Amino acid sequence: MGKARCLLTAGLPGNPAERTVKGMQSRRDQLVAAVIILPSIVLLGIFVYGFIAQTMRVSMTDWGQEAAMVINPEVNYIGMANYRDLFTGFLNVRFRQDLTNMFFFTLLFVGLSLLVGLLLAVLIDQLVWGETFFRTVFLYPMSLSFVVTGTIWRWLLQPRGGINALSTLVGLPAGKFLWLTSREQTLPFDWSHIFQYFCLGVLIVVAIAAFGHWVRGEKGGLRTKLIICAVLIGTLASGVLTRIKLLPFPEEHGFNKALWGIVLAAVWQMSGYTMALYLAGLRTIPDELREAARVDGASKFQVYRYVDLPLLGPITVSAVVILGHIALKIFDLIFAMAGPDHYPTSVPAITMFLKTFRGNELAVGSAIGVILLILVSFLIIPYLVTSFRSEAR
């Protein structure tokens, strides 16, 4: 009877024997999955994180022209000297202008791509027919590489042809805007006071965030913390950092108008991507919310302002991270449009290429690469932390 009872209960769900079998299968599946992904983890650790560590190590040495092509180079550790020279050295003024160009390019590229993409998404969302056609047309530039885009727009932005020559088709004089060759700068600032400008920018961001909480009527510790941060930053900027100067002499940098051509080409290529993101977001918003807003007397603009845009916030954050990542490491578009030696449109990635592969200054090129990695990390890491926290909740 005991054996019969064991045979009858062996097939019942939840009995110890079945749980043991399922546990063995689960461990076997986990072991197989670990074995399958182990080569990828090893390769990722060697060829990504291992090379990042090697780049950081090289950036703290004097590996330069004398030892660049030597089999057993004599390399000495010099600490942060390369980084200090990039930000304060007299001969690295181009790198500091590169950082300025990258800052303005990122602001314009991200802002205009979001604006154009949102407008296109709203217009396509209102179409009764032809949506597939227009969506394909606006998405097509994204299928091109930045090298192809740069080559096309280099032809279009010639000083004596392309867009400047369009007005001649209707009998008007040709345009004279120097899209890629202008050397005129606007919004100049002194690099020696860069700490003050940085604190001023942070202060403006914090003040805008605190004002937004005040407008929305939100109460609690967050607004108080923002106000305290604004006061501390303002005090620090006005008291301490006014006495800190990176350079013993004034060094002016600013926005070079030649960047407008690069921004125009980049926005043309990536605005279709943001359009697709926003269009997908608009289609996921329930129509009941819009109908409720219309019943309350909201106009079409108010529906977009108070219903659609707040719900598109996560998509905007994702688009900002992706576009900002592209802007910070932009290289091929500028290389194809203006070339590596064109100072007004240069960015840190271009200078890193020149220092490493043309000047054989491997340590300096590695230092620039590490700086770019840190700048990208400032954008990616907060986004990942926020995403993981939201998933955990």
Q: Please report the pLDDT score of residue 372 as a whole number.
A: 94
pLDDT attached to residue 9: 47
pLDDT of residue 23: 65
Residues above pLDDT 90, as percent of the chain: 39
Question: Which of 255, 273, 292 marks a domain boundary?
Answer: 255
Domain span including residue 40: 2-59
pLDDT at 1: 46
- Which region among 153-162, 235-244, 362-371 has the lowest average model confidence (pLDDT)? 235-244
Residue-wise pLDDT for 255-283, tens only, equals 999 999 999 999 999 999 999 999 999 88
One domain, residues 337 and 318: yes
Residue 148 placed within a domain? yes
335 and 270, same structural domain?
A: yes
Asked whether the predicted pLDDT for residue 143 surpasses 80, the reply is yes
Same domain, 243 and 377: no
Residue 5 has pLDDT above 90, yes or no: no
Q: 128 and 110, same structural domain?
A: yes
**Does 144 lie in the same domain as 193?**
no
Angstrom distance (rounded) from CA 126 to CA 301: 13
**Which residue did the predictor score with more confidence, 14 or 95?**
95
Q: pLDDT-derived band of residue 17, with 50, 70 and 90 as boundaries?
A: low
Q: Residue 74 domain-assigned?
A: no
User: Would you state the pLDDT for residue 8?
Assistant: 43
What pLDDT was estimated at residue 52?
A: 93
Q: Are residues 119 and 200 in the same domain?
A: no
* pLDDT number for residue 367: 95
Last residue of a domain, one of 219, 239, 255: 255
Compute the distance between CA of residue 112 and CA of residue 263 in angstroms, rounded to an integer: 9
Residue 276 and residue 351 in one domain: yes
Residue 251's pLDDT is 87
- On whether residue 366 sits in a domain, the answer given is yes
Same domain, 265 and 297: yes
Q: Are residues 301 and 375 in the same domain?
A: yes
The pLDDT assigned to 181 comes to: 86
Report the pLDDT value the prediction gives residue 242, as an integer from 0 to 100: 60
Among 228, 255, 282, where does a domain finish? 255
Residue 311, pLDDT > 60, answer yes
Q: Which residues of 290-300 are buried (b: 16+ CB within 10 A; e: fewer)?
A: beebeeeebee
Euclidean distance between CA atoms 197 and 203, whole angstroms? 10
pLDDT in tens, 206-259: 777 666 666 665 555 555 665 666 666 666 655 566 666 777 788 889 999 999
pLDDT at 11: 46
Q: Is residue 371 included in any domain, yes or no? A: yes
78 found inside a domain:
no
For residue 82, is it within any domain? no
Here the CATH number for the domain that contains residue 152 is: 1.10.3720.10
Residue 347 in this model has a pLDDT that exceeds 70: yes
In this prediction, residue 261 carries a pLDDT of 93
pLDDT at residue number 345: 93
pTM (2 decimals)? 0.84
Q: Which tens digit of pLDDT belongs to each residue from 173-212?
A: 888 888 888 888 898 888 888 877 777 777 777 777 666 6
Residue 73 has pLDDT above 80, yes or no: no
pLDDT tens digit sequence for 86-135: 998 888 999 999 999 999 999 999 999 999 999 999 999 888 788 888 88
User: In this structure, is residue 26 part of a structural domain?
Assistant: yes
pLDDT of residue 295: 86
372 falls within a domain: yes
Same domain, 123 and 266: yes
Whether 324 and 288 map to the same domain: the answer is yes
Compute the mean pLDDT over every residue in the chain, rounded to the nearest whole number: 83
What is the reported pLDDT for 165? 85
Specify whether 265 is located in the same domain as 374. yes
pLDDT at 336 over 90: yes
pLDDT of residue 93: 92
Work out how many domains the chain is built from and give that number: 3
Mean pLDDT along residues 28-43: 88
Query: pLDDT at residue 371 above 80?
Result: yes
